[in-house]
Amino acid sequence: MKAVVVESLGAPAQVRSDIDVPEPSDTQILVKCIYTAMNPVDAFMVNTGRLVDSWPLVPGGDAAGIVMKTGKDAYSALGPKFKEGDEVFGCVRLGVKGHGAWQEHFLFDAPVTIPKPKNINFAQAATTGAGILTAFEGAFDVLKLPLLDPDNLPEAKDEWALVFGGAGTVGKFAVQTLKLSGFRVVTTCSAKSFELLSQIGADATIDYSKPEAEVISEIKAITNGNLNLAFDAVSVNNNIVAMLFPSLPTTSSTRLYATTNDWDPLPDASLGFKSMGIELGPIGRPDAKALNERIHKYIPVVYKLLESGKLKVGEYIEEGSGVEGILKAWEMFNSGKAGSKKVVVKIADV
């Protein structure tokens, strides 16, 4: 089959047509790729080698497609066993042979695969997996919020939560998740994204390009210091949090900071708040048992929130088609021209 392959660390991506179709294990499903999305983790793996089991690598973390074959114990988090023809999406097991989504057929680990609701299309689904799971990990594991009940959402409360980088894929889902959890949400983003963030639930927006001192001042004025939770969706805000939290009034609550940056040193705990990096990278791997169990519990909630429209998918740009089109989509992603929109490519017809 065809695939986009990176032969070694930092090498250019190229199309090959001699890749074997992988065989699912008992708890896996073989998926025909309909759409895949470009993701920062793809660049991270290609440029650093982290999460890569071996080279050559087929990148591709986010995808949506149709089940072609199932293992004998490939059960959905919704209960039934997956079957041929089911529509699914999610984040693949990263850096492992057979799992990369930049190929015509790839493997999903059934327990962490999300069934696709009928009200979103394959392109929308392909933009969603890694982003929503990262947001849920940040909110419900790191920030210690109770997992949402889609049929009985919490009442709004006069408490603030902060999201750095609300316009990105993870940020948009973090804003929505915290809002659905009852918080008032303030987020940093570019001025051109103010309206979009307001539409999906942000109560206040701050231009991220302002000097750090101004951003901190605005956060304090907006929240009146009633802020105990911060979520960095863009991995670059450890320093500003280290200045912000100690400057707020003392509180009896524990202040918590979740960041997608799981490689740099976290802020010093002596500053009066607890920090933790969000680590979605090991998803699906057998040694990531606790992570996989949490994701398995998130999936019914994700499904219901998407199906009901309470959780909205992000905007995207479709670039290229077929496996060859991935190279064009990858070029656009790396150029930054898509802005905060996801870049997707249609690999095959349904």
Interior/surface letters 208-240, b for 16+ CB within 10 angstroms, e for the rest:
beeeeeebbebbeebbeeebbbbbbbbbebbeb
Q: How far is CA 71 from CA 19, 98, 109, 215, 305, in A?
A: 21, 15, 10, 51, 28
N-to-C CA span, the chain: 17
- Tell which residue, 64, 186, 127, 122, has the closest CA to residue 340: 127
Low-confidence ranges of the chain (pLDDT < 70): none
Pairing of strands 28-37, 342-346: antiparallel
Residues forming a β-bridge with 16: 3
Contacts with 144 (C-beta within 8 Å, 6 or more apart), sequence order:
256
Decide if 143 contacts 229 (C-beta within 8 A): yes
Instruction: State how far the Cα of 147 lies from the Cα of 278, in Å rounded to an integer.
Output: 16
User: How many other CB atoms are there within 10 angstroms of residue 309's CB atom?
Assistant: 11
For residue 181 the two structure tokens come to: 């959890």
- Please report the DSSP string for 34-45 in residue order: EEEE--HHHHHH
- Helix/strand/coil for 143: coil
Q: For the chain, what percent of residues have pLDDT higher than 70? A: 100
- pLDDT, tens only, 250-305: 888 899 999 999 888 999 888 889 999 999 999 999 999 999 999 999 999 999 99
Domains of the chain: 3-128+282-346 (3.90.180.10), 133-276 (3.40.50.720)
- Token match 């999305």: residue? 37
What is the reported pTM?
0.97
Pairing of strands 204-207, 227-232: unpaired
Decide if 255 contacts 262 (C-beta within 8 A): no
Residues forming a β-bridge with 66: 32, 87
- Rounded to the nearest integer, the mean pLDDT of the chain is 96
Q: What angle do CA 283, 15, 112 make, to 5 degrees?
A: 15
Decide if 240 contacts 215 (C-beta within 8 A): yes
